Structure 1
Amino acid sequence: MDAMRGPGNTASFRLPARGLSQMVRGLGALDAEIYESIARSPSPLLDTTMPVLSRAADHSKLWMAIAAGLAMSGRPSLQRGAARGMASLAVTSLVTNQGAKRIRRRARPSPGLIPLPRRGRRQPTSNSLPSGHSASAAAFAVGVAIESPPAGLLLSALAGLVGLSRIATGAHYPGDVVIGLGIGATIATIGARIVPPITEPSLSLADPWIVDTGARPDGRGLVVVVNPASADGEGRRVLAEIRAALPAAEIVELGDADDVPAVMADAASRAEVLGVAGGDGTVASAAAEAIGAGIPLAVFPAGTFNHFARDIGCATVSDTVAAVASGSGSRVDVVWLNDSRLILNTAGAGAHPHFVRVRERLRHRISRPLATATAVFRVLRKDPSVRIEVDGRVSEVSLFLLGNSVYQPTGFVPTRRLRLDDGLLDVRYLEAGGNRSTVRLFAALAAGQLQRSRLYHEMQVPEFAFRSVDGPIALSHDGEVEQTLTEARLRVDYRKLVVCRPAQVL
Structure 2
Amino acid sequence: MRKTPRLQARTLLRSLDHSLFRRVAERSWPGAEPVLPRLSRSANHGLLWGGIAVGMWAVGGSRGRRAAVRGVASLALASATVNTLGKGAVRRTRPVLDAVPVVRHLPRQPLTSSFPSGHAASAAAFAAGAALESHRWGAALAPVAASVAFSRIYTGVHYPSDVLVGAALGVGAAYAVRGLVPSRAQLPPPARPRTDAPALPDGDGLYVVVNPSSGAQPQLMDPVRQIKAALPRAEVVIYEAASGPLPKVIAEAARDAARRGGVLGVCGGDGTINAAVAPALEFQVPLMVMPGGTFNHFAADLGAETVADACAAVAAGVAVRADVGRVTPLPESPEGGTGAPGPEPVYFLNTFSLGAYPDLVRFREQWSPKIGGPAATLYGTARILRTARPLEAVVNGRRRAMWLLFAGNGAYRSLGIAPVRRDDLADGLLDVRIAHGGRFARTRLLATALAGGVARTRLYAATHARRLHVSGLREGTRMAYDGEVSRAPRAFRVDKLPEALTVYRPLTER
Instruction: Give your verdict on TM over 0.5.
Output: yes
Conserved 8 A contact 2:445-2:459: no
Q: 1:362 aligns with which of 367, 372, 377?
A: 367
**How far apart are the structure 2 equivalents of 1:373 and 1:246?**
42
Aligned with residue 322 of structure 2, among 324, 332, 336: 332
User: Does residue 1:479 correspond to 2:483, yes or no?
Assistant: yes
Q: Does residue 321 in structure 1 map to residue 315 in structure 2?
A: no
SS of 1:498's partner is strand
CA deviations 1:256-296 (Å, max 9, x no partner) are 46244444333322313112233322322212211222210
Whether the 8 Å CA contact 1:324–1:500 is kept in 2: the answer is yes
Alignment deviations for residues 166-203 of structure 1 (CA, whole Å, 9 cap, x no partner):
9x96659x99x99999999999989998xx55679999
**Structure 2 match to 1:291:** 281
Structure 1 residue aligned with 2:470: 466
**Aligned residue number for residue 491 of structure 1:** 495
How many residues are treated as equivalent by the alignment?
Answer: 456
Moved more, 130-139 or 349-358: 130-139
Cα distance in 1 between the residues matched to 2:170 and 2:439: 34
SS in 1 for 2:450: helix
Q: Would you say the 8 A contact 1:109–1:171 is kept in 2?
A: no
Give the distance between the partners of 1:200 and 1:40, measured in 2 at CA.
43
Name the residue aligned to 1:216: 200
Residues 1:143 and 1:456: Cα distance change in structure 2 (over 3 Å): farther
Find the counterpart in structure 2 of residue 422 from structure 1. 427
Equivalences for residues 82-231 of structure 1 within 5 A: 82-87=68-73, 89=75, 109=93, 111-112=95-96, 116=99, 122=105, 125-128=109-112, 132-133=118-119, 136=122, 140=126, 208-231=192-215
Aligned: 1:238 with 2:223: yes
Residue 383 of structure 2: aligned partner: 378
* RMSD of aligned alpha carbons: 5.5
**In the alignment, is the contact (CA less than 8 A) between 2:197 and 2:319 conserved in 1?**
yes
Tell me what 2:408 maps to.
403
Q: 1:338 to 1:265 in 2, by over 3 A?
A: same
Q: Return the index of the structure with the highest Cα Rg.
A: 1
Name the residue aligned to 1:251. Answer: 237
Distance (Å, rounded) in 1 between the aligned partners of 2:185 and 2:174: 24
Letter of the aligned partner of 1:287 in structure 2? Answer: V
TM-superposition CA deviations, 1:284-316 (whole Å, max 9, x none):
221221122221011233333322223222222
| Aligned with residue 451 of structure 1, among 451, 455, 471 | 455
Residue deviations 1:413-450 (CA, integer Å, cap 9, x gap): 3233333122222222322344487257525532x322
Is the alpha carbon distance of 1:413 and 1:92 closer, same or farther for their aligned partners in structure 2, counting shifts above 3 Å?
Answer: farther
Give ranges in structure 2 of 5+ residues lacking alignment. Answer: 1-8, 30-35, 330-344
What secondary structure is seen at the aligned counterpart in 2 of 1:230?
Answer: coil
One-letter identity of the residue aligned with 1:375: G
Aligned counterparts of 1:188 and 1:213: Cα–Cα separation in 2: 38
For the pair 1:347 / 2:331, whether they are aligned, the reply is no
**TM-score (normalizing by structure 1):** 0.69
- Mapped contact 1:120–1:170 kept (Cα < 8 A): no
- Tell me the distance in 2 between the aligned counterparts of 1:246 and 1:310: 25
Retained in 1: the 8 A contact 2:210–2:236?
no
Distance 1:311 1:209 in 2: 15
Gap regions ≥5 residues in structure 1: 1-33
SS of the equivalent of 2:366 reads helix
- How many Å separate the matches in 2 of 1:186 and 1:439? 32
Instruction: Label 1:44 to 1:394 Cα distance change in 2 as closer, same or farther (>3 A).
Output: farther
Aligned partner of residue 380 in structure 2, secondary structure: helix
Q: Distance in 1 between matches of 2:384 and 2:309?
A: 36
Q: Give the Cα–Cα distance (whole angstroms) in 2 for the partners of residues 216 and 252 of structure 1.
A: 21
Contact 1:235 1:277 in 2 (8 A): no
Residues of 2 paired with 1:77 and 1:358: CA distance? 26
Distance 1:445 1:374, change over 3 A: closer
Q: What is the SS of the residue equivalent to 1:460?
A: strand
Partner Cα separation in structure 2 for residue 58 and residue 35 of structure 1: 31
Contact 1:218 1:249 survives alignment (8 Å): no
Cross-structure match for 1:16: none
SS at match of 1:401: strand
Could you say what secondary structure the match of 1:315 adopts? Answer: coil
Q: Which of 232-241 and 394-403 deviates more?
A: 232-241
Partner residue in 2 for 1:266: 252
Name the structure 2 match of 1:30. Answer: none
Change (3 A) 1:277 1:125: closer
Out of 496, 501, 506, the position equivalent to 1:502 is 506
Deviations 1:370-406 (A, max 9, x none): 2323322322232243123334443322233222122
Q: In structure 2, what is the equivalent of residue 388 of structure 1? A: 393
Report what 1:9 is aligned to.
none
1:353 deviates by 0.6
Secondary structure at the residue paired with 2:508? helix
Q: SS of the counterpart of 2:298?
A: helix
Contact 2:317–2:504 (CA under 8 A) maintained in structure 1: yes
Provide the rounded CA distance (Å) in 2 between the counterparts of 1:231 and 1:310.
15
Q: 1:268 to 1:136 in 2, by over 3 A?
A: closer
Residues 333 and 423, structure 1, Cα contact 8 Å, conserved in 2: yes
Shift of 1:356: 0.6
Helix, strand or coil for the counterpart of 1:365? Answer: helix
> Which amino acid in 1 is paired with 2:227?
I
